[in-house]
Amino acid sequence: MYDDQNNILMDNIKWFYKSSKKCDNDIVNKIREKIIETIHNIPEEYFTDESWGGKWTDIKNKLSSSIKLLYFKQSGEEMNDQITYNIISKGGRGNNYDFEIKYSDEVIAKLEFKYGKDLFKYTQFLSLYWNNIDLVDKNYIKYWYDNYLKPYLNSLDIESNNIIDFEEYNNNIYDTNYTHELFNKIKSEIKNTNTSTSEYNKIHKKSIKEFINNIINKELINTSNLQNRLNGQKNKIFLFCHQGNFTLEKIKEHMDIDINKDIKTTHNNIIFTTTSNKKIKCLLRWKNGNGCVGPAWQISLRHR
């Protein structure tokens, strides 16, 4: 998808008009984000190419219109022709948004990019590793370690004598480079046996279901901690792209949890109701290999 120098290929513009295979989502999203960041520095021949030039011009123009509309949403004023802007990539674990748009009159807007129709259909608007939010007063990682790690390793033909003490295990469970020997073994075995019906997949799913439905209860859920994180989303504006068209959404009106409504748990979700009568769904999952590294809450917004 990139050339040997990791440059954007001319046909990469197609990813603003179509979805990718699920296994390619991460790299395709990085390509889209790189194009957004560098759209004003793309070589001129990309815009004049007989096959792809029309699409490059179309996306550049639509992005420009979106940036002008973003200025209005942020400042309440129309963006005049004298105002310029820079698009700065902010993606990464240290930030909870993809881009910072700095306008020449010192207006600054935070922008999150998603490929999809709108926020209610998107997989998540926020993802938090387990150690980044105390959503419940029970430790899923310790529960997993004590009750499921041994059978999980056995299902991958990894001897249980590879188990390390909990502190060491916990210190390495977010390392996506898999530098620890145990996690590297798990990653290798998952790669060799990865199917939806594999025994290790059944074990990891069972652990989450039992933890959500049997181990925690409403008194153990820290609604205020989640609300604090949702407050941080209120000023964020989302740029959605679907089949070559862009829309901007601000979700402030859906970010307040109604504390008078019941909290529900089902399968692998904790579900809250907002004051706008929408649902905040917190799905517990492993981001990097089921049961390998990266236990996290995948947080989405739904109509019901």
Instruction: Give pLDDT, residue 3.
Output: 53
pLDDT for res 5: 40
- Mark out the alpha helices in 133-280 (DSSP H runs): 140-147, 149-155, 166-172, 181-193, 199-210, 223-231
**What φ, ψ does residue 89 adopt, rounded to 5°?**
-70, 130
Neighbours of 303 (CB within 10 A): 8
Instruction: State the pLDDT confidence band at 8, using cuts at 50, 70 and 90.
Output: very high
| Nearest of 80, 61, 86, 79 to residue 245 by alpha carbon | 61
Half-sphere exposure of 154 (CA within 13 A, CB side): 7
CA 87 to chain centre: 20
Sheet holding 237-242, edge to edge: 85-89, 99-103, 108-115, 237-242, 245-250
**Distance between CA atoms of 290 and 186, rounded to whole angstroms?**
10
Q: Which pTM does this prediction carry?
A: 0.78
Across-strand partners of 293?
288
Closest CA to 38 of 106, 105, 112, 88: 88
Burial bucket for residue 32 (CB in 10 Å: 0-12, 13-18, 19+): buried
- State how far the Cα of 58 lies from the Cα of 101, in Å rounded to an integer: 20
Above 80 in pLDDT, residue 300?
yes
Task: Give the mean model confidence (pLDDT) for residues 6-32.
Answer: 90
Question: pLDDT digit string (tens) for 72-130?
Answer: 989 999 999 999 999 999 876 556 789 999 999 999 998 999 998 888 888 888 999 99
- Chain Cα centroid distance, residue 251: 16
- What is the rounded distance in angstroms from the CA atom of residue 222 to the CA atom of residue 68? 39
Q: What is the pLDDT of residue 194?
A: 66
Which pLDDT value is given to residue 53?
A: 97
d(CA 114, CA 128): 17
pLDDT digit string (tens) for 37-67? Answer: 999 999 999 999 999 999 999 999 999 999 9
Task: Give the contacts of 246 (CB within 8 A, at least 6 positions apart).
Answer: 62, 63, 65, 66, 239, 240
SS3 label, residue 258? coil
CA distances from 40 to 97, 180, 238 (A): 21, 42, 21
Q: What is the pLDDT of residue 93?
A: 55
Instruction: Give SS3 for 192.
Output: helix
pLDDT at position 44: 96
Lowest mean pLDDT, pick from 1-5, 8-12, 33-37, 299-303: 1-5
What count of other Cβ atoms lies within 10 Å of the Cβ of residue 27? 12
Tally Cβ neighbours within 10 Å of residue 71.
21
Nearest Cα to Cα of residue 184 among 162, 166, 201, 165? 162
